Structure 1
Amino acid sequence: MLQHLITHGEDLRMVPTDHNQLTAAVQNLREELQTLPEGTDAARARVLARWTGIGLLSLGNYDDARMYLRRALDLATASGNTQAVIATELNLADAYRYTGEAQTADALYRKALDDARSKHPELVDFALQHLGKHLMEQGNLIPARAHLEEALWLRTAKGDAGLIESTQAALDRVELLINRSSADTAGPAGGDTEAAQWSRRWTSWLQSRTTVWAPTGWDEGFPALRDAVRDLTAHERVHPRHLRDQSFPVDLLAGMAEEAEKALAADGYLHNGKWNAAVGEAANRFAGQVDLAAVVARSTGLEVEQPHNGVYIAYLEEGQFLDVHVDEFGFGEANLILCLKHERLTAAPTVSCTVFIDADGYLECDLAPGDCVAFDGALTPHGRTPLGAGESVILASFGFRARDQASRTVAHLPPVPL
């Protein structure tokens, strides 16, 4: 209705493309709303009230914008139009965000996202986009990036170029703010930022030359990667090792699997195409009772401290995958991925695997529940091949720091090939 008169400014907030034209158009909507004949379909009043509010918000008339958007929300709620309720909640949340009322805005954004997930999945990307920008403005950059990455994934699937461009612009701004924050805290040498950039450049180089989507081409393409990967993995402190028959207590594994499913359902976020959620008490109890650091040390020869971080990871839909990459340095010198659940069809021709690249080629690890694999995620290219029909995987990933804390900086590691 007013889309052609509204764009986004440098701060990604709505602004007029032409202030005078938008002002006139909003006035026309207000007049139409005020003169609607008795008995007019309430849906028309709702649409007029909502777009009047959006136009006023873009013009900076925040108090009036909230008044019209509340009216639109009341009309949507009274009619039982849950799709319109979600859309208007997002607009009203914007109106509060623009005036610095972050708490009210946050509550509205999260309610809209919850309702979209449960009732209108076609609106989830919009709710994620709005909430992501709100979190960005509040300085919560990592969750902001996670929400926007999920929105981008959904919008890419929709194939709407305009929506994709909008989300990519927000993501680019979040990444800029994250990099600035890292530069501010990294110290004179800027080591953290340099390491993060090194990891991202290696990932980009690897993904430009290989992919988990085409395993049949690995043998043909690997010679072009061999020397570069050999130089990179020569610095590994842990070579990939598939650990079977660890005899982990069944009750601890079951407790962690249950915790993972609840965490992913309640607070899961999409990152690089996979679902992530923070580990909790069950994972911490497991790591302590089985002495996970000792498991890594016995199997790899590297003495490590107890895990300093962890995350639950899930692949739940056919085709989900994790392309070849290297982790950022902050996750530790050793990583351990533990399989909590792996469901598959008995007659499936292929199965999704964790995959690694080293100087000898590609290593596939088909992890069954209770199996784990130890490796050096910062220096070992790794990923997961796509899920087949009826397949789902839930994992726990832990990061460990070496006890000797041997210096490892990008200055001593191979540069990204040209």
Structure 2
Amino acid sequence: MLQHLITQDAGLRMIPTDRGKLTTAVGQLREDLRALPEGADPARVRVLTRWIGVGQMCLGHHEEALTFLRQSLDLAAASGNTRAVVATGLNLGDAHRYAGDMRTADALYRSALGTARSQHPDLVDFALQHTGKYLMERGDLVGAEAHLREALRLRIAKGDTELIGSTRAALSQVEQLIEQAAAPGADNAVPRQWSGRWTSWLQSNTTARAPDRWAEDFPAIRSAVRGLTVHQRVHPRHLRDQPFPVESITAMAQEAEEALTADGRLHNGKWNAAVGDAANRFAGRVDLAAVVAESTGLEVEQPHNGVYIAYLEEGQFLDFHVDEFGFGEANLILCLKHERPAAAPAVSTTVFIGADGYRACDLAAGECVVFDGAITPHGRTPLGAGERVVLISFGFRARDAAKRSAAHLPAAPRRVR
């Protein structure tokens, strides 16, 4: 309806090809809306309000865009037109993003993507495209790249050259940003180096491989770890009684096994695989941000990323480390499956180093642990014979405006050995 009057700027946001013509066209749509008789077809009202909202968004009239798009979305939901719910939800997410309301935009994008995956597979590429551009603006370049690459695969399968070109343009921009971020002197070079130095120091002075060494190791690292963990916003907590749907845990465990078999990659001693529909449905069904907030007191946004993790071979372990800053201020690791021989003398555990020593969490299926992965040294002890562990890890950003900077955190000490 207005597509011929809309293009994209260098930041991939929608703008007018000709501001005057778009303003006139939007004005005409508003006249058409006002001219509708009482009791007019709600579908016609929905279409007009949607395109008026999109036009106003492109013109920078944020409040009017939000008003019309919300009206259109409500009409789509009331009529049960879930295709329109997805499409208009993405438009409304864009409008909130353009207006600077990233929190509401995040919820709208997640909802639209979840509905598309579960009910309208042919719309998934559109939802991925919009969500990927949102993640790019938020600075989650890894998440943006993953969403856009999935969108590109789907669009290549569709064979629509215009859509393929749009996604390739967005992906190219994300890749350039990733290259810039990795360059020496980039803004994130300091936190990346900080995390790497702490991980190197931890692994030089203790190990998750040999728990029998912990009592011997800890006196030498106590002061440094205390100086680090005093900055935690989330202290490790083992949550055993969360009412997560059993069928969701089972579905994610199956999806994880399939993803690990098809596309798993070995990373830092563990197997990683991208999450899929089952994980997205779970995140849409369960308010994970509330789980973190209720258990830790830290208000967080809904998870901005997730990954399946598996330990499958005897002796496999994850040595102590701290995560890079980009994963967020809070992490939630949920156990999907933990197979172990009944008579095993010891089992593999998720383990943390805190101010007072080492803490091991033996996670069973459906149990989780929340912690601050960027500040808390953590790892996993070795698997025993016949043991297998499958997990999903989610990252969360704090809702408050406080920004954590590596410049204000203690530097890793020099090696003590």
Q: Which TM-score applies when normalising by structure 1?
A: 0.56
| Higher mean C-alpha deviation, range 354-363 or range 283-292 | 283-292
1:223 aligns with 2:219: yes
Q: What amino acid sits opposite 1:380 in the alignment? A: T
Q: Which residue, 336, 345, 362 being the options, matches 2:332? A: 336
Same amino acid, percent of matched pairs: 73
Q: Equivalent residue for 2:401?
A: 405
Q: Equivalent residue for 2:146?
A: none
Q: Which residue, 231, 235, 251 being the options, matches 1:239? A: 235
SS in 2 for 1:399: strand
Q: Equivalent residue for 1:384?
A: 380
**Matched residues, number:** 242
Q: State the distance in 2 between where 1:395 and 1:274 align.
A: 11
Q: Which residue, 202, 207, 216 being the options, matches 1:206? A: 202
| Higher mean C-alpha deviation, range 377-386 or range 243-252 | 243-252
SS in 2 for 1:198: helix
Q: Equivalent residue for 1:292?
A: 288
Q: State the distance in 1 between where 2:254 and 2:379 align.
A: 24
Query: Deviation string for 1:157-201 (max 9, x for gaps)?
Result: xxxxxxxxxxxxxxxxxxxxxxx9757247997331111111011
Q: Equivalent residue for 1:361?
A: 357
Q: State the distance in 2 between where 1:246 and 1:185 align.
A: 38
Q: What amino acid sits opposite 2:321 in the alignment? A: H
Q: State the distance in 1 between where 2:255 and 2:385 align.
A: 25
* Structure 1 runs (4+) greater than 3 angstroms displaced: 180-183, 185-189
Q: Equivalent residue for 1:304?
A: 300
Query: Deviation string for 1:81-134 (max 9, x for gaps)?
Result: xxxxxxxxxxxxxxxxxxxxxxxxxxxxxxxxxxxxxxxxxxxxxxxxxxxxxx
Cα 1:195–1:183, aligned 2, differ >3 Å: closer, same or farther? farther
Q: Equivalent residue for 2:255?
A: 259
Q: Equivalent residue for 1:72?
A: none
Q: Which TM-score applies when normalising by structure 2?
A: 0.56
C-alpha displacement at 1:273, in angstroms? 1.1
Q: State the distance in 1 between where 2:178 and 2:274 align.
A: 22
Contact 1:212 1:323 in 2 (8 A): yes
Contact 1:183 1:193 in 2 (8 A): no
Q: State the distance in 2 between where 1:411 and 1:312 align.
A: 31
Q: State the distance in 2 between where 1:416 and 1:182 align.
A: 26
Contact 1:356 1:382 in 2 (8 A): yes
SS in 2 for 1:191: coil
Contact 1:183 1:192 in 2 (8 A): no
C-alpha displacement at 1:405, in angstroms? 3.4
C-alpha displacement at 1:353, in angstroms? 0.2
Q: State the distance in 2 between where 1:391 and 1:243 align.
A: 22
Q: What amino acid sits opposite 1:200 in the alignment? A: G
Contact 2:190 2:406 in 1 (8 A): yes
Q: What amino acid sits opposite 1:381 in the alignment? A: P
1:282 aligns with 2:269: no
Q: Equivalent residue for 2:85?
A: none
SS in 1 for 2:180: helix
Query: Deviation string for 1:264-312 (max 9, x for gaps)?
Result: 1111000011100011121111112110111011001000001000000
Query: Deviation string for 1:45-69 (max 9, x for gaps)?
Result: xxxxxxxxxxxxxxxxxxxxxxxxx
Q: Equivalent residue for 2:49?
A: none
Q: What amino acid sits opposite 2:346 in the alignment? A: T
